[in-house]
Amino acid sequence: GRPSAPSLFPLVSCGTSENTELYSVGCLAVDFLPEAMTFTWSNYANQSVASGISNYPLALAKGLYTAASQLTLPLVEGKSQQPFYCRAQHNEGDRYLAISNPGPGHVEAPSEVSVHPPSRDDFEGPYRNSTVLCRVVSSRRQPVEVQWLKNGVRQEHGVTTRGPAADGRGAYVTDSGLSVSEAEWDAGVVFTCKAEAEMRNTSKGIECGFERPQETEIATKVVPPAFADIFIDKVAKLTCRVLNLPNVEGLTISWRKETDQELETKTSPRVLQPNGLYSVDGVATVCADEWDKGDVYTCRVSHPDLVFPVEERLQKKNDANAKAPSVYVFPPAPEQLSLREAATVSCLVKSFNPPDLLVRWLRNGEPVAVGDYVTLPPAPEGPSSHLYFTYSALSVAGEDWAAGNVYTCLVGHEKLPLQVAQKSVDKSSGKPTSVNDEEDLHNLWTTASTFIVLFILSLFYSATVTLIKVR
């Protein structure tokens, strides 16, 4: 038969009159091939459960296998840790299932916070995005505030939270998801869910148990402000990141100006790194004008494990090769429109420096959801070039394009007049708008086509490598 991943179903035992002090749940895996498969269990907090597990022999029917695993714990221990998560690891794909026993013997438990990694299958989609999930189970019906952090930095975009909703067992469930890209996940970015004074972390290194070099020395690095913060909020955020902390007791992070004026510094909660140590950010906010004129700022870090305090300086660098970008938009290809399915509107941004910039899409003047488009990280235009390019692709429904909606590529860059430029395209224009007169349109399309082909090839290569890794 053809190889097939298992399908999972819950098995729940409510106990018997002879034994009401035990908590038991089971996991049934059916219709899988080949027979090699492994069950693992974890509790509501995503902590591995190793005791009380019984795995039953395989059964073969109609060329496919069936297997079952049972988890048995003392009643109080089981009730306080549910829901449990059964994971079936198989060559054709891993499967997860949340299982709870609604039987008698209710035990009041504190709010349960669990975080679950993204599905690798989702990364195979056109936008290479998936979702990290966070679940909060509480005995209270009040709304729960869920915060997401990426490497310790608060995330506002790409967050979807639903609930609380009754689960039928006297508790209320709040689910929150954070959209993540395949590049972020593969790079080992640590995602943190914070709720009910609890924090849970996940990353590729944590979930997959990668062996990484154990960097044990405390390190400090300063991170310049992102252009997006300067453009949107008109402030510059200075970040001092302390890495490889065994603990945060006694840690102090402070920023000061060149004039020795102390700046208000906010310290983020600790974030677990893939190597098992912690990182903490100290962030100070200054006026964008002060940052742009080249003021010098110093971060000072002290910790009991450091012999002497560490200081790092940060100042905006003025690049002699700085240049504003050229922006071009292109309508969907006629061949794609003929399929009457999704259409792709393209934006080519080229010949700019520094590489930090902002790309957003608008539909009839309204912002488009980040998940509807994908933007390549800026890359040099050549081996020895000081200029960069990027490419952004927006997926729109064929009927939306046919309806005459106007799609605008908005680009922010520090060297642009007013730091922003935008170009629009719609069905009636039939061609990209506001193309520079001095550049030949044919050559522009040739350049854009080259970038698009390279972009598609990079996605194909990434998908192939991912497939090989999964296999």
The string of pLDDT tens digits covering residues 333-381 is 888 888 777 889 999 999 999 988 999 999 999 999 888 898 888 889 8
Backbone φ and ψ of 188, nearest 5°: 85, 20
Residues with Cβ within 8 Å of residue 299, at least 6 apart in sequence:
220, 222, 238, 240, 253, 254, 255, 282, 311, 312, 313, 314
* Overall average pLDDT of the 233-245 stretch: 90
pLDDT at 333: 85
Residue 138, pLDDT above cutoff 60: yes
| Nearest residue to 277 via CA among 240, 242, 244, 241 | 244
Query: Where residue 212 falls among pLDDT bands split at 50, 70, 90?
Result: very low
Q: Kindly list the domain boundaries of the chain, sorted by start residue.
A: 1-107, 110-211, 219-314, 326-466
CA–CA dist 257, 298 (Å, integer): 6
pLDDT at 126: 64
Residues with Cβ within 8 Å of residue 461, at least 6 apart in sequence:
none
Range with the poorest average pLDDT among 10-24, 347-361, 441-455: 441-455
CA–CA dist 427, 400 (Å, integer): 10
| Structural fold of domain 110-211 | Immunoglobulin-like (2.60.40)
Query: Where residue 468 falls among pLDDT bands split at 50, 70, 90?
Result: very low
pLDDT, one tens digit per residue, over 64-112 is 889 999 999 888 788 878 889 999 999 988 888 888 887 765 444 567 8
CA–CA dist 187, 205 (Å, integer): 9
CA–CA dist 172, 175 (Å, integer): 10
Classify domain 326-466 by CATH number.
2.60.40.10
How many CA atoms lie within 13 Å of 63's alpha carbon, on the beta-carbon side? 4
pLDDT at 106: 46
| Nearest residue to 328 via CA among 455, 456, 447, 416 | 447
Assign domain 1-107 one CATH number from 2.60.40.10, 3.30.390.30, 2.40.160.10, 3.40.190.10: 2.60.40.10
Q: Do domains 1-107 and 219-314 have the same CATH topology?
A: yes
pLDDT, one tens digit per residue, over 451-461 is 444 444 444 44
pLDDT at 433: 44
The helix (H) or strand (E) run that includes residue 250 is: none
pLDDT, one tens digit per residue, over 37-63 is 999 999 887 888 988 999 988 888 888
pLDDT, one tens digit per residue, over 301-317 is 999 888 889 999 999 88
pLDDT, one tens digit per residue, over 165-193 is 887 766 788 899 998 888 888 888 888 88
pLDDT at 310: 92
Could you tell me the pTM of the whole model? 0.46
CATH class of 219-314: mainly beta
Range with the poorest average pLDDT among 139-148, 174-183, 257-266: 139-148
